[in-house]
Amino acid sequence: MKSPLRTGFLTVIVLAILIAVSGWILHEERPVGEEGPAADALARRIQQAVNLTTWEQTGAALQDGLPLPPEAATEHVQTAWRHWINDQFWLNPFSNLFTEGVERSLVPTVDGNHSLLVTFTRGGATPGDAYLLSVDADGLPTAWKMWVSILPLGGLTASWEDWIVLESGALISQPHQIGPIALRLRKIAGGSVLTDLASGTDPFLPLLTGSLADPAQ
């Protein structure tokens, strides 16, 4: 009769070996692209395809939040900033294609077209991350491969599909398929000004005016 402890230990070893082998097989080295005007032109096509000009007129709202005293706010502000950086990359990363510290380069595809390799050399929450964007004939992203510090595998693919248009005119891709994992954005709203999303009030007004009173008061 086998010991349960021994059986459990062997199971862990086998799983560890399978995970290591799978990682070795699935891992993909980051490609090397060609920088220059052609890469910049593809980045501009992507921004035009997602209607970036309307994105710049679309406000964002704080949901279920309350103002904090200044002495308690620093940690929460930093945490919120890191969360926002991550969330923005699943909502609208394309506004960052020409920000400082971003490198753009073309990578040839097997069908004779090109993908856009975007590398964030500095800034943000995780400098050094890179994304390889595949686009359709109109320049609208269809998927990207990721080389990011929080993932152990390089070249993991996430889809960009089922695009919708918000009331402001901005485009949003709701579902993102990452292997067996499905990520879907829900209850998305957009407006030209913040009060369009907050029943006619500005929830950030107390922060701008220096008052910590309830915005509803």
pLDDT tens, residue order, the chain (217 aa)? 444 443 444 454 444 554 455 555 667 888 888 899 999 999 999 999 988 888 766 656 443 455 555 565 566 666 666 766 667 777 888 888 998 889 999 999 988 899 999 998 875 556 788 999 999 999 999 999 999 888 778 888 999 999 988 877 888 898 888 888 888 877 776 666 666 666 666 655 655 555 444 444 4
| Mean pLDDT over the full length of the chain | 74
Based on the structure, what is the number of domains in the chain?
1
Please state the φ and ψ torsions of residue 44, each to the nearest 5 degrees.
Answer: -65, -35
pLDDT for residue 105? 96
One-letter amino acid of 118: V
- The domain of 200 spans 34-209
Q: Does residue 22 fall inside a structural domain?
A: no
pLDDT for residue 57? 67
Q: Does residue 91 fall inside a structural domain?
A: yes
pLDDT for residue 27? 76
Q: Which two tokens stand for residue 94?
A: 């394309």
Q: Which two tokens stand for residue 68?
A: 């904090």
Q: Does residue 10 fall inside a structural domain?
A: no
The predicted-structure confidence for 71-116, as pLDDT tens digits, reads as follows 655 666 666 667 666 677 778 888 889 988 899 999 999 888 999 9
pLDDT for residue 3? 43
Q: Does residue 5 fall inside a structural domain?
A: no
Q: Does residue 125 fall inside a structural domain?
A: yes
CA nearest to 181, candidates 216, 137, 201, 151: 151
Q: Does residue 25 fall inside a structural domain?
A: no
